Amino acid sequence: METVEMNSVSLKRPHSEDDLDEIKRRKISENSKTGTGQSIETGTEQSDKSLLEDTKNEVIPNEEGEEQEDEELEDSDEDGDSESFADMMKHGLTESDVGITKFVSSHKGFSGILKERYSDFVVHEIGKDGRVSHLDDFSVPVDDEVNCEDPSEETFTVLSDDDKQRLEELQLLKNKETSVAIEVIEDTKEKRTVIHQAVKSLFPGLETKTEDRDGKKYIIAYHAAGKKALANPRKHSWPKSRGSYCHFVLYKENKDTMDAINVLSKFLRVKPNIFSYMGTKDKRAITVQEIAVLRITAQRLAHLNKCLMNFKLGNFSYKNHPLKLGELQGNHFTVVLRNITGTDDQIEQAMHSLREIGFINYYGMQRFGTTAVPTYQIGRAILQNNWNEVMDLILKPRPGAEKGYLVKCREEWAKTRDPAAALKKLPVKRCVEGQLLRGLLKYGMKNIISAFGIIPRNNRLMYIHSYQSYVWNNMVSKRIEEYGLRAVPGDLTLKGATAVHIEEGDVDNYTIHDVVMPLPGFDVIYPKHKIGEAYKEMLVADNLDINNMRHKIRDYSLSGAYRKIIIRPQNVNWEVVAYDDPKIPLFTTDLDKLEGKPLPVLPTDGKFRALKMEFSLPPSTYATMAIREVLKMDTSIKNQTQLNTTWLR
């Protein structure tokens, strides 16, 4: 992917931070046996439900036959020093490049550091019933049904690492072996039963039998139903009285939701698509959200707490339904802005304005990428049906901060236009560039549409949704500039699920918080004032017809939607605290509470000040845009790296 994660969005005067020390300090599991170091970019808090209807529960699985080392390479490939990174980011995007230009509050801005530590940004999911998800219980539910006990703890330890490796290769059909033989060292019926249970529980799709060979007992594992069994967890061992889905709360630190699910699926040896969730959560944060998984026991999930870093699983329950994207009511944020410079009066004005007026509901910077080729440009080329430009924009060299292997791949592509040669420069094949190159190898340079189709569908749709977001940001800035913070005749408001125009005689019945603006697409209406014309002008300039957003390829037909232009956060609270040590946590997390860790003791006259704030936001809104309104600072990586590079050194 064409993205780079910023280790902190530091606003003017940051402290330096030793991230390695942070990682060591925040290991979740005291007795961790293994862990992962994958790194992917910070994600959005949640995409529009309307934009996600076509990508329900889709998770990008690991490519078949691809080795785990790819994920490690994504983290380990560090190129250049901090100065070169800051220099490269001069080519990145600023807020004004994507239409983010206005503020709604009147206070004077001040500086602070957002996400100096990932533990300074905590997200709790709010379910559709209004309940905030918390990790506060590690217990495993007990079934009422008799004789349906879960496997014993010994099930997870009876197989050696070598046995597990051989069984996994057999399960995934990675070699030509048709079976794996495991010698029973302690030949008792009880021991054989545990081995049978372990193989069947840990490796869905495998069956077992006992054989005598040369006077010794062996458990023979073999495939029951080929590849199909992998996608369908065994049904005969699941109690009828138990719901088919195990729901649990996932507490994760410094991990993206999809990355976390890929890790869980790897350790459970199942396909990622048996997991479902209501929304994706930030990487550089501590997040708490509900996950559902098909026919995996709570006991088996709880066992992962002993062998994974950066995750904790708890609050288990069995239900008859999965989760769906967009079902959540929102997210509750607990955020610390460190080393703030604002006066008490400025802070009070800023937070009162956030609570009473709110902030412009812009799409945040992570929606658009970080290099000189924004994702919305690729989306525009897709909508224009200009496939040569799509290919060129994705693969051509560009200035900006990127992994070294991507730079070499792009250089090779520019020099040879040979997909095979360019692909050889990529140790990581799951990135968009690698997937497109594989598609070009398979379908040829004259069939770019099919080659592009190899990229997972939700990634492809990300580009056109980015273009929608780009148009919306620009139009809402024009709307605020033209009409200010009041409803005017010709604006749009929602009545149920239907958008209607505000008429002259009814305008006094509405406030700015009732006004919505359309995301361009088919079956939407536009404001009956200057902004409606501005939409048309913008799309005409991009060679698109606002009245015909249906694409000849159905996937790329833009369905429109409506989005509130001002969001007023709920449950807004704040306090200013003093501190001396930049590494000390300023509040306790769910895990801290479970482990009985006391509240941090803070000095009354510390040399630094921090603003602790809490607020709840609905889906499809960006906490970074709320914080931007408080600080009145550009949140783009380009701006922050030019303001200061000390945090990168």
Closest C-alpha to 384, from 538, 535, 523, 545: 545
Whether 132 contacts 126, CB under 8 Å: yes
Q: Residue 125: what residue type? A: E
Tell me how far apart the alpha carbons of residues 568 and 18 are, in angstroms, rounded to a whole number: 36
Find the distance separating the first CA and the last CA of the chain, reported in whole Å.
25
Tell me how far apart the alpha carbons of residues 488 and 484 are, in angstroms, rounded to a whole number: 9
Q: Coil, strand, or helix at residue 601?
A: coil
Q: Coil, strand, or helix at residue 32?
A: coil
Whether 98 contacts 639, CB under 8 Å: no
| 168 CB-near residues (< 8 Å, 6+ apart) | 174, 203, 269
Annotated active-site residue 282? The verdict is yes
Tell me how far apart the alpha carbons of residues 561 and 107 are, in angstroms, rounded to a whole number: 32
Give 150-172 as a DSSP string. Answer: PPPGGGGTSS-HHHHHHHHHHHT
Tell me how far apart the alpha carbons of residues 290 and 301 are, in angstroms, rounded to a whole number: 14
- What is the DSSP secondary structure assignment for residue 366, as one 8-state letter? G
Query: 123 has which bridge partners?
Result: 287, 333
- CA angle in degrees (0–180, nearest 5) for 387-392-396: 165
* Alpha-carbon Rg for the chain in angstroms: 26
Structure tokens belonging to residue 550 = 């249906």
Catalytic hit among 150, 282, 491, 634:
282
Closest C-alpha to 512, from 482, 557, 533: 482
Closest C-alpha to 469, from 619, 622, 358, 362: 362
Q: Coil, strand, or helix at residue 518?
A: strand
Q: In which element (H, E) is residue 360 found?
A: strand 359-360
Tell me how far apart the alpha carbons of residues 374 and 221 are, in angstroms, rounded to a whole number: 50
Closest C-alpha to 551, from 379, 433, 368: 379
Structure tokens belonging to residue 63 = 């490519």
Q: Coil, strand, or helix at residue 433?
A: helix
What crossing angle do the helices spanning 457-483 and 530-541 adopt, rounded to 10°? 140
The neighbour count for residue 562, using CB atoms within 10 Å, is 20
Tell me how far apart the alpha carbons of residues 89 and 86 are, in angstroms, rounded to a whole number: 5
SS (H, E, C) 76-125: HCCCCCHHHHHHHHHHCCCHHHHCCCCCCCCCCCCCCEECCCHHHEEEEE
**416, 421, 426, 430 alpha-carbon torsion, rounded to 10°:** 100
3-state helix, strand, coil in the chain (%, to 5): 35, 20, 45
Place of tokens 């790296």: 641
**Phi then psi dihedrals of residue 331, to 5 deg:** -140, 145
**Phi then psi dihedrals of residue 311, to 5 deg:** -135, 150
Q: Which sequence positions are flagged as catalytic? A: 282
